[in-house]
Amino acid sequence: MLFYGAVKPPTLTLIRSDPDLVLRWIAREAGRRRSGAANVAPEEYDFGGVPETELRSCIHYEYARECDPIVREVANIRRQSFPMVDEAGNLKSGDTRSLRFRRVRKWSKEDLAFDIWILMALAGEAGFPETAWTKLQADAKARLVESLPNVAIEAVNANVARKYPPLVVETEMGNAELAGLTLAAWKAKVGALDGGRSAKPKSRPLQMSGFFTVGLAYDAEVIVESFRKWLLDGPPQLASAKRERRGRHSLRDGLNALGALRLRYLCRNLSEAQDLMMALRRTRPDGPSYRDRTSWNRACTGAVDVFRQVLHLPDTERPLHFSAGWQK
């Protein structure tokens, strides 16, 4: 088990995989641009056979293959782990080793936790990034389904909840000092729980303090329902803090969009890509369908958006197989 600061990453599976193979793969993919349909394998654009239970991990894995900083950092981790492979037989339970991580993006502490979990999971799979999800061995998929991205997200959520608890409650029955406490004093008391983070101006719109009284003569279910109704009706302060809700998009939509992006990059022209997609739909009628250049380009734009959302990347990052448009 490896430790980095206060963040506890997953166990790194020690593998003997040449890090330079990863870098050569990046260069090879760059050289495949507009190489033609004959050089495109179905697993690069056809995700129709991925079971629902694998979709969440598959989309993180496939989009990670598109991320140059992630792929290069996986090579960096494997290079550092080489000595550990040689001494693996002498390691005992509880032994620790350190790794130096380079930034995939500008990090907050939450971003750091997320990235380390993702990077460690990918670095321990010998098939990454060369092997597409649908070609991975069953045991590799099982490991990734368990850890990618579930464990990373759980670690980040737990860290956020520790710093910014969703609800802080004390009663005068448990603390007699509360009887004379002012609202300002209560805010200061709550702020001290997270080291003063909640007192910062950018955190204030996301927190609300006040007074409430619980009628103990009522059953717990009635009290809970009353609080739930008050919360969902939306106090003014809560309504102003609500986040924007975007349209619903399925994980499979994101994978289909990635397939379109790769076909635009790899095919010589739109006609080649259309032929591949038509052949796919003959075997899978429910597969993706793009009628014209506009719908293809819309799907490719969507893939870039999903790439940044799934991997928490800035707007400056683009997938490895990004191209600005079709060859005329």
User: pLDDT per residue over 56-102, tens digit each?
Assistant: 999 999 999 999 999 999 998 888 876 665 666 666 666 666 677 77
Is 232 inside a domain boundary?
no
Q: What is the pLDDT of residue 221?
A: 86
Is 238 inside a domain boundary?
no
| Final residue before a domain boundary, out of 184, 206, 228 | 206
* Residues 184 and 71 occupy one common structural domain: no
* Residues 32 and 80 occupy one common structural domain: yes
Is 316 inside a domain boundary?
no
Is 34 inside a domain boundary?
yes
CB atoms inside a 10 Å sphere around CB 265: 22
pLDDT digits 0-9 by tens, 285-322: 888 889 899 999 999 999 999 999 988 888 999 999 99
User: Both tokens of residue 55?
Assistant: 């979709």
Q: What is the pLDDT of residue 101?
A: 73
User: Both tokens of residue 205?
Assistant: 């719109």
Q: What is the pLDDT of residue 246?
A: 43
* Residues 148 and 275 occupy one common structural domain: yes
* Residues 29 and 89 occupy one common structural domain: yes
Cis bond before residue 149 (omega within 30° of 0): yes
* Residues 89 and 150 occupy one common structural domain: yes
Q: Please tell me the distance from the alpha carbon of residue 260 to that of residue 131, in angstroms, as a whole number.
A: 19
Q: What is the pLDDT of residue 108?
A: 58
Domain that holds residue 180: 165-206
Q: Please tell me the distance from the alpha carbon of residue 288 to that of residue 62, in angstroms, as a whole number.
A: 17
* Residues 29 and 176 occupy one common structural domain: no
Is 235 inside a domain boundary?
no
Is 36 inside a domain boundary?
yes
Is 231 inside a domain boundary?
no
Instruction: Say whether pTM exceeds 0.75.
Output: no
Rounded to whole angstroms, what are the CA distances from 145 to 138, 139, 202, 301? 10, 10, 36, 27
User: Both tokens of residue 181?
Assistant: 């406490």
For residue 205, the Cα-to-chain-centroid distance in whole angstroms is 26
* Residues 170 and 110 occupy one common structural domain: no
Average pLDDT over residues 16-36: 89
Is 112 inside a domain boundary?
yes
* Residues 68 and 138 occupy one common structural domain: yes
Percent over 90 (pLDDT), the chain:
39
* Residues 170 and 151 occupy one common structural domain: no
* Residues 195 and 268 occupy one common structural domain: no
Per the document, the length of the chain is 328
Confidence bin at 244 (pLDDT 50/70/90)? very low
Cis bond before residue 129 (omega within 30° of 0): yes
Bridge partners (DSSP) of residue 4 are 7
Average pLDDT over residues 226-234: 77
Three-class SS state of 236: helix
Confidence bin at 167 (pLDDT 50/70/90)? confident
Inter-residue contact 279 to 40 (CB < 8 Å): no
* Residues 146 and 57 occupy one common structural domain: yes
Q: Please tell me the distance from the alpha carbon of residue 284 to that of residue 17, in angstroms, as a whole number.
A: 36
Q: Please tell me the distance from the alpha carbon of residue 310 to that of residue 308, in angstroms, as a whole number.
A: 6
Bridge partners (DSSP) of residue 7 are 4
Q: What is the pLDDT of residue 207?
A: 67
Among 56, 43, 254, CA closest to 147:
56
Inter-residue contact 129 to 65 (CB < 8 Å): yes
Number of domains in the chain: 2
**Phi and psi for 201 in degrees, rounded to 5?**
-55, -40
Provide DSSP, 305-318: HHHHHHTT--TT--
**Which residues have C-beta within 8 Å of that of residue 162, sequence separation ≥ 6?**
none
CA-based torsion, 273, 276, 278, 281: positive or negative: negative
* Residues 66 and 124 occupy one common structural domain: yes
Mean pLDDT of the chain: 79
Which amino acid is present at 176?
A
